[in-house]
Structure 1
Amino acid sequence: MEVMNVIMHKFLDYQPAKDAETLIIGTFNPNVEDNKANFFYSRPRNYLWTILPTAHTKKGLKNASRLEKENFSSTYKIAFIDLIENVKVHEGQEVNYEDAYLDKQEIEWRKVIEVMKELSNLKRVCFSRSTFADIPRMNKVVIEIEDYCKDNKIKFQRLVTPARFYNEAKQDQWNNFLLNDSGQPN
């Protein structure tokens, strides 16, 4: 019998607020010892907590506590969810958390659309990745979410990842998504 390790999502205790107007969807935040993130998008090389406050002309929250990030999110009616609830990997297999690696593993998908159905004020949804060449299974799930949004007149956009670096072009794309209520991608 093959032994598998199940790596759970780190923030399964988090539930999007029912009054959320914006939903930001990511891929996976593993509950492993070396992941020091205190909330969604809080790894050292991720700049979402610079981007979100800057869009609202507030001070960055990159090094803020989880409570400060949750309070900001509540104020601006922003919620978070990831596509993956857990990943099964073979015992002894080298593990990484790159999307291309995860896409090839045995995945339990989060029921994102079911969660979205509970968010009656939802105006905009984004996936925090704009390219899908190396993640066909995730792309299929994102297309289902995108179709749900179209059918329910919810703005949907695939945005450049907030990870790796911060720059004005990235900030501008996120600003347009967060602050433009036209209902259409920019």
Structure 2
Amino acid sequence: MTPTPIKHKFRNHEINPATRCLIIGTFNPDTPKNTADFFYGTGRNDLWSLLPAAFGVEGHLKGKNRNPERLRFMRERGIDFVDIISEVMVDTDRAHHRKDSYIGGRVSVWRDVTGLMDELPNLERACFTRKTFNDVPGIEDHVRKIASYCDGNNARNRRIVFRCLVSPSRLAPGKDKQREWSAFFNESAIV
């Protein structure tokens, strides 16, 4: 099989410069089989239920064609998204695969997340949407770089709350996901 580059589906998403909380994920492939219309926009993910509940908002923002409500929610709460992987090189017939065990060793372009964070003067907190680093060689080093940046090793010499949270994926174990996500958004910021 000939390797094919697969870029991130939302690679043109521009982070709002007023962002106070950055949610950092892994990868969302730009392939025809990927039906996500935004970050965490598949039925296999609970993020758009976890976020509203963390802020005491009734209901959820899951499902197709919810982007106007999602974008309003994000803007009102200063939340935005970025993924740590920009591109993978995969076999043409497996381009739609998203499992870490498949894309893990095939990362061809990492996103400069700390460089993007430098452009967010109001940033108070950031989280990575997983606690484990299995199956993706090199990802732990990138997450450590982000954690170090948040620990005050940045252009502003400011501390930023950083956590690795349980994955919002429905496949990820964790009976206390809501409690953990809510605690992250409700703990006092370190500035």
Assess same fold via TM > 0.5.
yes
Give every structure 1 segment of 4 or more consecutive aligned residues whose post-TM-superposition deviation is greater than 6 Å. none
Please report the RMSD computed on the Cα atoms of aligned residues, expressed in angstroms: 2.1
Alpha-carbon shift at residue 87 of structure 1 (Å): 0.9
Separation of aligned partners in 2, 1:29 and 1:94: 11
**8 Å contact kept, 2:166–2:174:** no
Secondary structure of the 1:35 match is coil
The residue aligned with 1:176 is: 183
- Residue deviations 1:3-40, cap 9 Å, x none? 43111111112111111110000000111111111110
The residue aligned with 2:110 is: 109
Alpha-carbon shift at residue 182 of structure 1 (Å): 4.3
- Residue deviations 1:36-64, cap 9 Å, x none? 11110111110000000111122210125
Separation of aligned partners in 2, 1:108 and 1:99: 15
Separation of aligned partners in 2, 1:34 and 1:92: 12
Secondary structure of the 1:73 match is helix
Separation of aligned partners in 1, 2:90 and 2:189: 42
Q: Figure out how many residues of one structure are paired with residues of the other and give that number.
A: 183
What is the identity percentage for the equivalent residue pairs of Structure 1 and Structure 2? 36
Query: Which blocks of at least 5 consecutive residues in structure 2 are unaligned?
Result: 153-157
Separation of aligned partners in 1, 2:79 and 2:134: 28
> What TM-score does the superposition give when structure 2 sets the normalisation length?
0.88
Separation of aligned partners in 2, 1:92 and 1:43: 22
The residue aligned with 2:31 is: 32
Aligned mate of 2:167, from 161, 171, 185 = 161
**8 Å contact kept, 2:33–2:96:** no
Secondary structure of the 1:134 match is coil
Amino acid at match of 1:156: F
**8 Å contact kept, 2:46–2:170:** yes
Alpha-carbon shift at residue 92 of structure 1 (Å): 4.5
**8 Å contact kept, 2:29–2:96:** no
Change in 2 beyond 3 A, CA 1:91/1:38 = closer
